[in-house]
Chains A and B, each alone.
Chain A
Amino acid sequence: MTGFIIRRLGEAIVVVLGVTIITFVLLHLLPGSLARDILGNRASPQAIAAFNKENGLNTPVWNQYWLFLDKLLHGNLGYSFQYNRSVDSLLASELPRDLVLGGLSLIFSLAIAIPIGVAQAVRRNGALDYAGTGVSFVLYSMPQYAIALLLIQFLAISFHVFPAEAPQSASAIGMLEHPSGLVLPVAALTLVTYALFSRYMRSSAIDTLAQDYIRTARAKGLPERLVLTRHLLRNSLIAVVTLVGLSIPTILTGTLIIEQVFNYPGAGLEYFNAALRNDYEVMLGITVLVGVVTVLGNLLADIGYAILDPRIRY
């Protein structure tokens, strides 16, 4: 077990390093130069040389990568020269609001996917199963923003139930104080995540139902309700660990799109706006962060699975 965790951790570190290399290369592929971008077209060669020296841009590429990595290791994700603000401070104000959006959606989608998945597995090939599969199929085949658009059309425009714009509070708590504005963005991201979860949850529950211990539980006369809650549900929950770990890229990409549609103030919207104003360091800082979180999610899912399911031996 310890060996597995160490090996898995080593792999994760290699992958994170790989992501930083890709980001670094992208930063270097950019046309023009940082000095010109910041000092302007009329900057003197001396000023440019001084700027390059100050920022280590006159050193060999590998050294620049090392500086870049060193900054990242100290938690410095870059600097937005357009906002004259560090990417860290920018994200520090965005991430709590992202946690509200992503966290609530994750909780709701699990709360829907687990019981429906189990019900579908128990009543396999019944009406409920077909309906559930159909819904998740359509959701899965829709571009993420289309789900958001339909919600806006029906719940904000046709029937004025909820506003189409997210609350614009500065803090996460402020967002929670305007629940009506949160409903549509959270619902949209919940559906996007549910589309990913539902089929997996169903097949995991079907697999569990075929296990010997379910047969034993039924054979010894345990009421079906207890078979489902004590044996089926509990063991299906192991799959949830994997689900949550693997859903992180979907949630983060979903966040980007949903935040853009609902003007939800978060890192995704920040990324979108940074793209519009060519603020590359912000974009790459967020990309590195998303990459690291993705790797971390996979790692925790693997380790969590190994701990929860003692049958897994590496």
Chain B
Amino acid sequence: MKTINTISSILLLALFSNPVLAEIKVTTVAEIEVTEVNKQGEKIVKRSKATRVVPGTEVIYTITAKNTGTEPADNIVVTNPVPPQTVYVDGSAFGAGTNITFSVDGGESYNTAANLTVKDAAGKPRAATVEDYTHVRWTLQFSLQPGQEAPVWYRARVK
């Protein structure tokens, strides 16, 4: 009896003294779309890893956050800098159940597309265009349950 009690208290101690093993794992994939004609003569659009890229190519960045832990994760915010040699493709950002905002000041602040302004050469504010975007941000409006994945994506065109 005493041994069992000791063992169970050790186990209990072990449970409460270990850190919470909740993890988010993030993977990013860059792809391009390739149009192929199948045997029936139909055009099929396939995605493949971005390798053959030239100015003008549209690259699709897909970022997937996965909860690999045992606890739900909240307040998840995914941020991706738009590579400087590319331009964000207007309206291409998507993420189910997320609020999407952009930064035009190198990631200092974020706002919805309609509210973004930059200063022109004379210092006057003007509405920001996609050429001004430096970052894309997705703020998940839901908790990511253990084992759940949330992919978000956008397109960038190589200058």
- A, B co-complexed: no
Q: Measuring CB to CB, which residues of chain A are less than 8 angstroms from any residue of chain B?
A: none
Residues of B at the A interface (CB closer than 8 Å) are: none
